[in-house]
Amino acid sequence: MTVWEAAPRRRRARRRHLSRGDRVVLTLMAGVPLLLTLSFVWVPALLSIVLSFSSWPGIGGVSSIKWVGLQNYHTIFTIYPQFYPALEHNLIWLAVFFALPAPAGLFLAVQLDKQIRFSRIYQSVLFLPVVLSLALIGFMTELIFSPTQGLLNNLTGHAGQNDMIDWLGNPHLNIWAVLLMACWRQTGYVMIMYLAGLKSVDPSLKEAAALDGAGQWQTFRHVVWPALRPINVVVLVITVIESLRAFDIVYVINQGTNGLELLSVLVTDNIVGEASRIGFGSALATILLLISMAFIVPYLISTFRKDGQE
Amino acid sequence: MQRFSTGNQTFSRRSMLRGALMGAGALALPPLLSACGGSGSSGGSSSGSKVVTYGSNAAVPQPKGAYETLFAQAQKATGYTVDVNWVDHNTFQQNITTYLQGNPQDAFDWFAGERMQFFAAQGLCDQIDDVWAKIGGNYTDAMKAQSKGTDGHYYFVPFDYYPWAVYYSKSLWAAKGYSEPTTWDEYIALAKKMKGDGLIPIAFTDKDGWPAMGTFDYLNMRMNGYDFHIDLMRNGTNWNTPQVSAVFEQWKQLIPYYSPGFLGLTWQEGAAQLLNKQAGMMVLGLDQIGTIFTGAKADDLGFFAFPEINPSYGQDSVEAPIDGMMLSKSPKNRAGAVALLEYLGTAPAQQLWLAADPADIATANGVDTSKYTQPQTDSVTLIQKASHISQFMDRDTRPDFADPVMLPAIQQFLNSPGSVSSILSGIDKQAKLIWASNG
């Protein structure tokens, strides 16, 4: 871990010799992104939280905003029938993304890292879905799972009227059909992350392990896996983000209704539309924000704490 | 000259600012945008411009071509060139609030009914009593009533419309010897017979969510009458009543005859079942089914009015959504836009457009009906016989209620028909909140 120790010392040493030009450059380099982040991420996020306590059709000026306290949240938790299914689906999405694409991506990455023949071809094939947008994958889901015209039902002979499997219309099935396609894409994404991580693992470590008589699994468990820790944080964060921001694929299929409700869809339904319920939609968005915070913040805190101790 | 250049400078700075805001995807900034748009337009209201700007929701080739022909003719008739901003139909609808508060075109496509009145009441469009002084003679009283806001002023020029009915393939029916039912019992008996003949009795699809609304509207109007229906749509009270509950109970009788897997099918797939003679009948609008039964098949499309359930209401109401045009709040070229709307409100203009679109009928009187296809002619008869015309659920009720609340509620009912009472109380609570709030 020499790299970790050297870095802060070097940084400290350099700070003393900052010229005026350096200071200007650094201020600009830190200040401009900070300003952009503040104005396009934090201020809108805070405004959303503020608006979530209001009732506002989005028509007319700020004067037409009516403050209603916690009423939007009360409505969401008591009489908004789409909320609990959406919450449940988001959590299922999160659980499935952790259970399937994350380990599968790691597994594939480790296999591809072994310098097998045609590795590049496998890599491109597995990474290909990541290039496609989720909206496009939504269209592909329809082509595959459509009950009468889809590939799957026609191949398995379930497209007839009496034995049809209603992959897209049955609310107990469609979420899994969609998740399968989403996982297909996510696996390639995770794989590329891990592949990049594995390339940076010093080969001499593995050689040393091999000389010590470690088997494949032992090498992975005790040498490679610990070295992948920074990548794990990245994978965790993208898994949480990707599963909470899931939207396009279900919106393409049925606008996120009938078994495909997601919090992101409910936010869109209420805010972007012929008549907007901006306050209500903001309350939903705030709930989504809190959920993502609940997953990401504790992990990041513990990670930074460990980094600080080293 | 100097004034002009100053004005020009301010305008370009404003439009740059606006561009920057739009680029940031600042959805929640309509008031700011409208402020820019408003002052920009008052500053640049140079008279005598020969261009009218137009926001169209018809970006797909088929209606777009028809509109292009129409606007070319409008240029000859009025002397104004129409500069069109083509937008996808659903995108246009989704963004209408932001669009109208931003920097909208002078005139734009929209729909009659509550959907028009809602935006008129918010002050987002211009009243056009002056247009109606010219075109009033072209329209029936029913059409006039559908073009006014709640304040009694005109806001809308009806252009084309189409009925909802029960559609079928005439050749299939002739082969099987079916005849058109007029009452509920005959309707159910026919469906039973079709099932026995190995057909899907009623092609029904609701993946898109909205097609089922038409069936609800008809059941409600047939069972509880037009006045009850419109009151339910406009005021949002009465959802949790025995009358509405009865509608859903009646609806349950139809579900066994629907297309298998209907919640996973689009209306196009359902219409294809009708076209391919797999299905016997389908409740849909001519505007949709007419695009499937085209060319030589057009005259094979037959239909009948949704059957009678309560004899005191009979078949007196027809669902016939009207599409048309409106003026935005402060059009840059109002004189030109008025001239354009006056032209669009005439029979020749509508006839010209309909030549390319046999799935709609004209709203103005005096169209040469000999050029209509059989379904178009029958549609005119159906609508003229009706004593009440409704629009459609998502046009008769508040926009923040129809899609966000009713669409999923009906899907939920179709999924689990047993839970009517809890679904209705859910709708009722949400309706009360939405009508009580301002957004």
Are residues A60 and B122, on separate chains, in Cβ contact within 8 Å?
yes
Predicted confidence band of residue B48 (pLDDT cuts 50, 70, 90): low
Q: Indicate the pLDDT class of residue B34, thresholds 50, 70 and 90.
A: very low
Residues B7-18 have a mean pLDDT of: 38
User: CA A114 to CA A108: how far, in whole Å?
Assistant: 10
Q: Residue A16 has what pLDDT? A: 63
B58 within 8 A of B109, measured Cβ to Cβ? yes
Nearest residue to B145 (alpha-carbon basis) of B154, B132, B137: B154
What does the alpha-carbon distance between residue B348 and residue B70 come to, in Å, rounded to a whole number? 10
Q: In this predicted complex, what is the ipTM?
A: 0.83
Which A residues in the span 139-178 are in contact with B, Cβ-Cβ below 8 Å?
146-149, 161-162, 164, 166-171, 174
Dihedral angle computed from the Cα positions of residues B324, B328, B329 and B330, in that order, rounded to the nearest 10 degrees:
-130
How far apart CA A131 and CA B305 sit, in angstroms, is: 50
- Average pLDDT over every residue of B343-369: 92
Across the range B277-282, mean pLDDT stands at 96
Residue B3 is predicted with a pLDDT of 33
Contacts of A162 in chain B (CB under 8 A): 260
What secondary structure does DSSP assign to B222-287, as a single string?
HHHHHHHHHHHHHH---TTSHHHHHHHHHHHTTGGGBPTTGGG--HHHHHHHHHTTSEEEEEEEHH
- The C-alpha of A101 sits at a distance from chain B's nearest C-alpha, in angstroms, of 27
Q: Residue A115's pLDDT is what?
A: 78
B-facing residues of A in 251-280 (CB < 8 A) are: 253-255, 257-258, 261, 269-280
Q: How buried is B246 (Cβ within 10 angstroms: 0-12 exposed, 13-18 middle, 19+ buried)?
A: middle
- Find the mean pLDDT for residues A11-22: 69
- Dihedral sign from CA coordinates of B187, B192, B197, B202: positive
Within 8 A of B408 by CB-CB distance, chain A residues are: 81-82, 257-258, 261
**Which candidate, A197, A214, A206, A183, places its Cα nearest to that of A103?**
A183
Of B24, B95, B97, the CB nearest to A59: B97
Render pLDDT for B176-230 as a digit per residue (tens, 0 to 9): 999 999 999 999 999 999 999 999 999 999 999 999 999 999 999 999 999 999 9
A44 touches chain B (CB under 8 A): yes
Average pLDDT, chain A: 87
- pTM of the prediction? 0.85
Per-residue pLDDT averaged across A10-24, rounded? 71
Q: A186: distance to nearest CA of chain B, Å?
A: 25
Residue with tokens 């219309």: A169
Contact B307, B182 (CB under 8 A): yes
- Of A62, A257, A273, nearest to B411 by CB-CB distance is A257
The secondary structure element, H or E, covering residue A188 is: helix A174-199
pLDDT in tens, B58-115: 888 878 889 999 999 999 999 999 999 999 988 898 889 889 988 999 999 999 989 9
Is B264–A166 a contact, with Cβ atoms under 8 angstroms apart?
A: yes
pLDDT tens across A163-191, in order? 888 999 999 999 999 999 999 999 999 99
The larger pLDDT score, comparing residue A293 to residue B308, is at B308
Q: How far apart, in whole angstroms, are the C-alpha atoms of residue B88 and residue B93?
A: 9
Least confident of A133-147, A248-262, B17-31: B17-31
Would you say A132 and A185 are in contact if contact means Cβ atoms under 8 Å apart? yes
Beta carbons of A272 and B94 less than 8 Å apart: yes
B148 pLDDT higher than 80: yes
> Among partner residues A51, A161, A174, which is closest to B200 by beta-carbon distance?
A161
Asked whether residue B31 carries a pLDDT value surpassing 70, the answer given is no
Chain A interface disruption, residue of B326, B434, B438, most A CBs within 10 A: B438
Q: Which residues of B touch A256 (CB under 8 A)?
A: none
Residue of B91, B88, B146, B159 whose CA lies nearest to B395 = B146
β-pairing, B164-169 with B301-304? antiparallel
Which of A164, A253, A274 faces B260 most closely, judged by CB atoms? A164
Mean pLDDT, residues A68-75 taken together: 93
The residue of chain A nearest to residue B399, with distances taken between CA atoms, is A275
Q: A44: distance to nearest CA of chain B, Å? A: 9
CA distance linking residue A183 with residue A188, whole number of Å: 9
Confidence at B393, pLDDT banded by 50, 70, 90: very high
In this complex, do A147 and B264 lie within 8 Å of one another by their Cβ atoms?
A: yes
Chain B residues lying within 8 Å of A279, measured CB to CB? 439
